[in-house]
A and B are shown apart, each in its own frame.
Chain A
Amino acid sequence: MSIGVGLYSLPMEVIFELVSCKLTNRAVPSELFSPSVVFWSVRLPRAIMALLVGAVLALAGTVFQGVFRNPLVSPDILGVSAGAGFGAGLAIILVGRSALAVQSMAFIFGLAAVVAAYQIGRRSRSDSVTVLVLAGVIVTAIFTAGLSFLKYVADPYEQLPAIVFWTMGGFSDIVWKDVYWTLPVFIAGTAVLFFLRWRLDLLSLGDEEALTLGVDVKKMRVLYISASTLIVASSISTCGTIGWVGLVMPHMARLIVGPNHQFLISFASVLGAIFMLIIDTLARTISSGEIPISIMTSVIGAPFLAYLLLRQEESNF
C-alpha cells in the first residue's frame, strides 16, 4: 500500500503491470518508464529500508531494556545516536567521506557512549531506573557538545555540509546500494540477538539470579550490547538519527504479547517495521516537501515517555 501512494501517482494496475514485466522479463513499455523508475529505484528500496530500520531499532530497544532491566532506556537514550554522530563527524574531519571510516567510527563511538553511560549508572549509589537515563543524558550532552565543536572547526564549504547531511538522515535518498550495504550488518546483528533471545529473560531476572542459572552475565551483556549498537550505528549511518522508535516499540509490543523475550523480540521488530513504514509514508505524503522523519517519531515518542514515567511504579519489570 505504502508503495502505491506518494507524490508521483502510481495506480495499483501500473504496479501490477511493472511487477509482471519484471517477472516475465518483458521490456517495460516506454510510457511506463518513469513510473518504473519511481517504483523500482525510489519507492521500493525506500520502503524496504524503512521496514528494516524500524525492525532493528525496535529490536535493539527491546534488547537494551532487557539487558539493563530498565524500561526507560533505548539506544538513543543511552547516547548511542549522539556517540555515533560524533564518531561520524570525527571521521569526516580526520579521514574524509569514506563510507567505511564513517561507519566504523560511528560504531566505535556509539559503543563507547553506551559503555560510558552504563558505567556512570552502575557506579551511582542510587539504584533507581532513572539513574541510567540520567547517565544517558550526560553522555548525550558530552557527545552533542563534541559534535557542535567539530562543526565549529569544520571547513564551512567542504566538511560542514557533509556532517550536517550525515546527521540529518532520513529515508528520502535511499537507493538499492544502501540496502545492500546495511543488510549484511543488520542480518549479522539480528542473528546474534535472535539466537540468544531466550537468555535475555535470564538476564532480566538480575545478575545474581542469572549467575546461579549458569549464565556468564558479563560476556552475554557485552555481546548483546555490541550487537545492538552495531545495528543501530549502521542504521544511523544510512538514515540518520531516528529517535524514540527503540523506546516506544518494545513497550507497545510488551502490552500486546507480554514480557517473555522469546516472542517479544520478534514481535517488537515486526511492530517497529510496520510503524516506521507508516511514519515514512506519512512523512513523504503529508506536505509538498519532505517532513524530516525524526520530527514525526518525536511527536509520537516523547509524550509516550512522559506517560511511562508517570506510571513507572506499575511497570512489569
Chain B
Amino acid sequence: MKPLKVNSIRDVLLVGLLLLCFVASGCGQGAEQTGNEEAGEDIVVTDGLGREITLSQPAERILTSYGIATHMVFALGAQDKIVGYDSPSRNNAFFNKLMPELSNIPTPGSPAEFNLEEAMALDPDLILVPGRNMELVENLEEKGLTVFGVVAEDLEQLKDSMLNLGKALGREETAQEFVNYYENTLQKVKERTENIAEEDRPVVYLVGPMGLLSTCSSEMYQHHLIRLAGGENAGGELTGGWVEVSPEHLIEWNPDLIFVVQYTADTSPESIMEDERLQGIKAVMNKQVFWFPSTLNPWDYPSPQAVLGLYWAASKIQPDLFNDLDMQAEADQFFQKFYGKTYTELGGTLD
C-alpha cells in the first residue's frame, strides 16, 4: 500500500472520514484481538438452515435466544461476548458457575418468545436463534440484524453448527478441536458397536420428560443414540416425538435397561425400582435402572456435551466392550478442555 500523503485540508478530511467509517463499523478492536483475520476480509459462514452469513469481522456482541446455542457459545469459550441470552438459561447452575456475572446480563427472549426491542437495544452483531423458527429469522433479518439459525438435531448438524459458529465468533481452533474430539469418539464407539447383531443388542427403555410412560420414538435423536451405543430402543417401532405408552407396553417390551432423563416429571430410578407393575421386568430385576447423566446438564440430547452421553450409554449398554472407559475421567478431560474446569470441580457426578 502506498502511504497516504497528507498535503491538503481535503486529504485530512478524507482520512478523518475513512477513520470514522472504520471505527463506526466496529473494525478496530476486534480485528486486533483475533489477529488472524485480516481487516476488510469478510467472514462467510453457513448456518443450520443453509443460509450464507457474511460478517466483516468475528462477532463481538452476541445474543442467543436458544439454550443449545448458549451451550455452544460456552463450549467455544466465547461466553464473554454474550450481551443477551435465553431466559430459560438464567437459572442454569452450570452456566452460572462458569460465569457468575451472567446473572447481570439481560435475557430478551427464549425459543418461545422474543422481545425484539430489547434485543435491538443491546446492539448485537450476531443473533443466534433456533433454526426451526423461520419466522423469527426473517423478521430479525428485515430489521437489518445478522441472524444465525442454529439447527442441531443430530451429531452431524451439531458438528457443522460448531464449526460455522466457531468461525463466526473467531474461535475456529476450539471448534476444530471440538469436532476432532467428536469424530474420534464416534469412530471409537462405532468400531465397537457397529457389527453387533440385532439379537445381541440389549433393549433400552428411555423415560422421557412426561414421566415413566413417555419415551422416545424412532424419529428422535435419543433413538439413534441408543442404537449407536449398541442397544435397541424399546419404543423404536413408534413414530412421532416423545410418545405416550401404557405400562403394558413396558411389560411387553421387557427392557434390559431403563434410562431416566434428568428433566423428567415425577419419576426416578428409585420410583421405578419400587413400582409393583415393573417387578417382572429384566431391568428392574437386574437393577439396571439409571439416571441419564449428567447432574449438570442433560447429555441425552444434541448439545455440545452429547458426546459424553454417547460414551456413558455405550458403557452401560455394552459394558464388556467399553470396560476400558473411565467415565468420570473422560468427562473431566472434556470439561477441562472446553470449559477450563473439570467435571468433578464443577460438582458433576454420574449418578
Q: Do A and B come from one complex?
A: yes
Contacts from A to B (Cβ < 8 Å): 6-8, 33-34, 37-38, 41-43, 97, 152, 155-158, 161-162, 164-166, 168, 170, 172-173, 175, 284, 288-290, 292
B96 within 8 Å of A (CB atoms)? no
Provide 9 A-B residue pairs closer than 8 Å at the C-beta atoms, listed in order of the A residue: A7-B249, A34-B251, A37-B276, A37-B279, A161-B263, A161-B264, A164-B210, A166-B265, A175-B277
Q: Known contacts A43-B248, A173-B213, A289-B240; can you find 12 more A-B pairs with CB under 8 A?
A: A37-B279, A41-B276, A41-B277, A42-B248, A156-B263, A161-B264, A172-B247, A173-B212, A173-B247, A284-B248, A289-B243, A289-B244
Measured between alpha carbons, how far is A7 from B212 in the docked complex, in Å?
Answer: 18
Contacts from B to A (Cβ < 8 Å): 88, 91, 112, 209-213, 237-238, 240, 243-249, 251-252, 254, 262-266, 275-277, 279-280
Q: Which residues of A contact B246 (CB under 8 A)?
A: 6-7, 42, 172, 284, 290
Q: Which residues of B contact A162 (CB under 8 A)?
A: 265-266
Nearest opposing residue in chain B for A288, CB measure: B238
Q: Which residues of A contact B112 (CB under 8 A)?
A: 152
Nearest opposing residue in chain A for B217, CB measure: A289
Measured between alpha carbons, how far is A174 from B248 in the docked complex, in Å?
Answer: 12
Whether B279 contacts A161 by the Cβ 8 Å rule is no
Tell me the minimal C-beta distance from B111 to chain A in angstroms.
10
Contact of B245 among A6, A43, A290 (CB under 8 A): A290
Measured between alpha carbons, how far is A37 from B252 in the docked complex, in Å?
Answer: 11
Measured between alpha carbons, how far is A161 from B208 in the docked complex, in Å?
Answer: 10
Q: Which residues of B contact A290 (CB under 8 A)?
A: 213, 244-246
Q: Which residues of A contact B244 (CB under 8 A)?
A: 170, 172, 289-290, 292
Q: Which residues of A contact B247 (CB under 8 A)?
A: 38, 41-42, 172-173
Q: Which residues of B contact A161 (CB under 8 A)?
A: 209-211, 263-265
Contact of A42 among B88, B251, B263 (CB under 8 A): B251
Q: If the complex has contacts A165-B211, A172-B213, are A38 and B248 also in contact, measured as CB distance less than 8 A? A: yes
Q: If the complex has contacts A7-B248, A289-B244, are A165 and B238 also in contact, measured as CB distance less than 8 A? A: no
Measured between alpha carbons, how far is A161 from B280 in the docked complex, in Å?
Answer: 28
Measured between alpha carbons, how far is A158 from B254 in the docked complex, in Å?
Answer: 28
Q: Which residues of A contact B88 (CB under 8 A)?
A: 156
Measured between alpha carbons, how far is A173 from B211 in the docked complex, in Å?
Answer: 9
Q: Which residues of B contact A165 (CB under 8 A)?
A: 210-211, 265-266
Measured between alpha carbons, how far is A8 from B248 in the docked complex, in Å?
Answer: 6
Measured between alpha carbons, how far is A308 from B74 in the docked complex, in Å?
Answer: 59
